[in-house]
A and B are shown apart, each in its own frame.
Chain A
């Protein structure tokens, strides 16, 4: 039986007077790829960002309900938020390399958690760049600004930087939407490989991508979860009208 990594109970999110997420209840299985699907603006990204409380960054956001990670409620915990965030690697819609060189982009997360030994850092940097198959491409230019890499390389760098802090969960927000097909494929393949060790939550509106890699699917519409379950079930016989028409590509 699957273990549950993240459980969300009665989650509501408001930005000012706008009700963005409405009564979200779901659970995300461990070491699987969970795909959150739905048309643009339905709250997928917001849900993802509330998992590691990036919503704290915006003072006008109000959250109600519970988000349990490994049984601990992250919204009402006294634990240091940075520790909770370190459990979750984030991959954004577009790569946002930090304004520093390639090496430091990976080493940054390690340094801020207090690891300073150079030899150890170099080894880790190499290890994680190899993990995302970037090492061969960048090993001679580690001191160059990360912004000089191609978009596809940058996205893999961002993945490596996230893995370097040894998370348990990967939160990916349409990670391939700005990439070319080959780079997208590289990321998808990486995810399938990574789910051995990580629980992956992937937001996407690319239906084919969802079908290729999803184990578990959450379908959202207008801030609510319409339907959720194992991927085969949702794709083969959806129960709700809305899910069915979305899967047939009737609306966007």
Chain B
């Protein structure tokens, strides 16, 4: 009945066209929504061979990476990834927070207007360029100055180099969101606090930051998932040695670098293909978990306010 009414209202021609277009738009939507699932299932199937032969705990916590004798311990790679990501966030976090506070609370409006495109340009620079810059500047700096300063002899290709390069890459990304978050805090809220006799800094600390805490946490969550997956720039400076790093001045071998360096090259070794897919699966799961966590926080705070 309903369809007949619709046809009468629209005319058959329009009715069919509307149906058709609604159809393919829906198909696109479904495709986009299914993509992550397809990827996840694909990775799982591909790494199934490895998982069948080894226990999951062994794979994740074993330190032995000897593909030729069939030992695949991902622990060094996972730890490298965590080190690089955590150090990058430790460097980028405070820088971003303070910059965003200054730009939104202290600076004149035109400064922010100038800074916005600058930040966008930083965000748009291809990561390989950051990598080259890392090799030319950061790596020698660590090997010649910073390493000796802390009494370490190092080639410069270290976790720290990866972290610094990575930090600089995620700064524009985090900064942009933080600025947006701080700008969304109404001026009147700061005015209310100031009118009660609070200083600017008290107002920032107790009102602005307090109001934005969930947003800041989820921004860092998104930053982590971004940093965790960043490949090429980190790969170029981090050293790529499959040992468990125990400090910033040690070389590391993060998961994305492992995949990018070896996929398509050493596939004659049995299970190697499957092992790389497993590395990808770990990466995939970690990034998705962090993303979901960050988004859940955003949604929760939206409801609160």
Contacts and interface: CB of A to CB of B under 8 A. Distances in A.
Contact of A99 (B194, B197, B210): B210
A89 B195 CA distance: 6
B206 interface: yes
Given A60-B109, A112-B202, A147-B305, A96 B196 contact: no
A98 interface: yes
Does more than half of chain A's interface fall in helix, strand or loop, or is it mixed?
mixed
A112 B196 contact: yes
A13 B69 CA distance: 79
Interface stretch (B30-38, B84-92, B184-192, B259-267): B184-192
Given A99-B211, A145-B304, A90 B192 contact: yes
Contacts of B8: none
A113 interface: yes
Contact of B191 (A60, A83, A92): A92
B210 A85 contact: no
A158 interface: yes
Interface string B38-51: 00000000000000
Contacts of B193: 98, 108
B198 interface: yes
A99 B305 CA distance: 9
A154 B305 CA distance: 14
Given A94-B188, A147-B305, A85 B196 contact: yes
Interface stretch (A51-59, A124-132, A187-195, A233-241): A51-59
B95 interface: no
A89 B198 CA distance: 12
B207 interface: yes
B62 interface: no
Contacts of A77: none
Nearest to B208: A99
Interface string A52-73: 1010010110000000000000
Contact of B195 (A99, A100, A162): A162
A2 interface: no
A85 B195 contact: yes
Contacts of A109: 196-198
Given A112-B202, A145-B304, A57 B197 contact: no
A108 B196 CA distance: 8
Interface in B156-206: 186-199, 202, 206
Contacts of B186: 96
Given A90-B192, A96-B189, A82 B197 contact: yes
Interface in A90-139: 90, 92-94, 96, 98-100, 108-109, 112-113
Contacts of A108: 193, 196, 198, 206
Interface string B264-279: 0000000000000000
16 contacts: A85-B194, A93-B188, A96-B186, A96-B189, A99-B189, A99-B211, A100-B206, A108-B193, A108-B206, A109-B197, A112-B198, A112-B206, A113-B197, A161-B196, A162-B196, A171-B195
The 7 A-B residue pairs with the shortest CB-CB distance, nearest first, are: A90-B195, A86-B197, A109-B196, A99-B211, A82-B197, A59-B108, A96-B188
